Structure 1
Amino acid sequence: MQKNKLKSGIEISEVGLGCMSLGTDLEHAETIVDEAIQQGITYFDTADLYDYGHNEEILGKLLKKYQNDIVIGSKVGNHFNKEKQTHFWDPSKEHIMNSIKDSLHRLNLDQLDLYMLHGGTIEDDKDESIEAFERLKEEGLIRAYGISSIRPNVIRYYLENSNIETIMMQFSLIDNRPEDLIEEIDEHGVKILARGPLSKGLLTDKSTKVLQNKFNDGLLDYNYNDLSSTIEKLNTEFDQLSAVTLNYLKSFDALGSIITGASSREQLKDSIQHYNTTMTEEQIKHARAIVKDIQYQNHTS
């Protein structure tokens, strides 16, 4: 599988496993993680908040035998109580500095490859958060850091004032808002981690069923009728919508990894098969012309 290099030299597979959907059954999770390794996936994405730390614990157990061959990314910023299953936003330096110790313990690691701020608002003390990540790099507890955000004003601040290496953002053929930021991101040598590439199943072979079950109120700038006609047009023109959206994402030089979740090994196999389906530049442009141009409406200044 194609690997893409971050500024620090870390290489991540162009498809990464989003681990939030692994569940809490260790044996079932192991079948998915082992399949990911067999398919060439070397980047695994988690967060301390997923299952209130349990997701990191499961990943730490399962990836220990592959430790020299894989890259792990986790996220921080939510102060949570596992027993009460509650959390609140806390991007403070103190919280970030303390949380890395807990994440490293749960992941069975001495050093985390990639540590990302799990959200963020323009009102945060962003310089304090940046100072925390820089300190963690100096202390050797992390190799690189980034943010997970869909707020353009937050993204731009970190691009201009920090040494982030990744930005995780919602990105698919339907949700093409990140196109507005691609040039700026690429100019700073930052790589995109594209989450939600299949738009909650809308861009799969189950698109009609998913549309009816999940999108009665439409999506972004689409009302239901707009979305229905767009999906129908895509299905008429292309055999497999998953392959279309994955090839669309692969066409951007700023792409670091497409983060795909999987609740079974079969689902993961299908995703990799569609990732490996080759499409021409003309086909990608045609698919892009069918969907709307979507721009960010909030948090732009």
Structure 2
Amino acid sequence: MNYRTTKSGLKFSELGLGCMNLPLDYQESKEILKEALSSEISYFDTADLYNKGANEELLGKFFKENGHREDIMIGSKVGNEFFQHSDEVKWNPSREHILNSVKDSLHRLGTDYMDLYMLHGGMIEDNKEETIEAFNILKQDGLIRAYGISSIRPNVIRHYLAHSDMDVIMMQFNLIDNRPEMLLDEISARDVKILARGPVMKGLLTEKYDSVADRKFEEGVFDYSQDELKEILGKIDAPLTVSTMNYLLSQPVASIVGGASSVDQLKANVAAYQQVDYQTHDRALFHDLSYEEHL
């Protein structure tokens, strides 16, 4: 496993584990997490909203039992005010909410600091200065090592690039959804790196692309028809997951954050990563996409 370091010194494994879809059954999740550690994955990504804190608790239980805290990085997210006894979720990026929520997340994770804390979304109408102030306080107090945002809104991303000292931006990014390319120069100019979520585009960028297109993309996606997607993906000789990983790792990406709901799925992601050569990808076959909203 290779690693990439951000400006605050966070050392990301190039392949991370998105924990959102971990099974609620602890024994099942435990096997996936053990496999991740044995594969030298060091970045584990969660959020307070995932299963209303249960996902953080699951990670906390595992690392309490298995140690390794000094060898791994935990990232969580904040901004969604949720309620245990209803499905209501309120957007709340306020200073007070962030400063209170981090305590709850740290308790559930069983740790006294978080490596990365991210705003879980964001709108241009937010009081962004208040949000940034909260993250800076947490960093100064040693409760977090670095912060960032998870967003695909260019106007929000550009504000945080200009006015904060964030380390990372989490974005959906892959060969099909290459919209982040329009922001790469601005991101790199601020020495910020990307956490790439959705690297296989819901399974389209795997060997099962044909059946996935039939099940999930009957109407196509973005400006691709289903037939065009199948035609393009059928032209690629290299394994599709390897090709999209090669593409992402040729960009200012700190980690490819792939999810896994089973040990076999994680092993498939790791096997694809082990074939990466950092050069071979098929970007030229795909459309040049750009964000069209929130500009």
Shorter-chain TM-score: what band? over 0.9
> Cα offset for 1:188?
0.8
Once superposed, what is the RMSD of the aligned Cα atoms? 1.1
In structure 2, relative to structure 1, the CA distance for the partners of 1:163 and 1:233 (3 Å cut) is same
For residue 285 of structure 2, what is the amino acid of its counterpart?
Answer: I
Per the alignment, residue 242 of structure 1 pairs with 241
Per the alignment, residue 3 of structure 1 pairs with 3
Q: Does 1:35 align with 2:30?
A: no
Per the alignment, residue 204 of structure 1 pairs with 206
> Cα offset for 1:186?
1.0
SS at match of 2:12: strand
- Point out where structure 2 has 5 or more consecutive residues left out of the alignment: none
> Cα offset for 1:280?
6.6
Distance across 2 between alignment mates of 1:229 and 1:205 = 14
Give per-residue Cα distances to partners, 1:175-226, cap 9 Å, x unaligned.
Answer: 0011111111111111100000000000001110000000011111212222
Q: Does 1:289 align with 2:284?
A: yes
Distance across 2 between alignment mates of 1:279 and 1:108 = 37
Per the alignment, residue 262 of structure 1 pairs with 260
Distance across 1 between alignment mates of 2:84 and 2:117 = 21
- Point out where structure 1 has 5 or more consecutive residues left out of the alignment: none
SS at match of 2:132: helix
For residue 267 of structure 2, what is the amino acid of its counterpart?
Answer: K
Assess if the C-alpha contact under 8 Å between 1:116 and 1:145 holds in 2.
Answer: yes
SS at match of 1:137: helix
Distance across 1 between alignment mates of 2:223 and 2:98 = 36
Matches within 5 A, 1:157-236: 157-234=159-236
- TM-score between the two structures when normalised by the length of structure 1: 0.95
Distance across 2 between alignment mates of 1:166 and 1:195 = 12
Per the alignment, residue 44 of structure 2 pairs with 44
SS at match of 1:9: coil
Matches within 5 A, 1:26-105: 26-64=26-64, 65-105=67-107
Deviating beyond 4 angstroms after TM superposition, the runs of 4 or more aligned structure 1 residues are none
Distance across 1 between alignment mates of 2:149 and 2:238 = 35
Aligned residues: 293
Matches within 5 A, 1:97-176: 97-176=99-178
Give per-residue Cα distances to partners, 1:229-286, cap 9 Å, x unaligned.
Answer: 222223xxx141011101111111x1100000011111111111111113473x32xx
SS at match of 2:148: strand
Assess if the C-alpha contact under 8 Å between 1:52 and 1:85 holds in 2.
Answer: no
Give per-residue Cα distances to partners, 1:47-69, cap 9 Å, x unaligned.
Answer: 00000100000001112211111
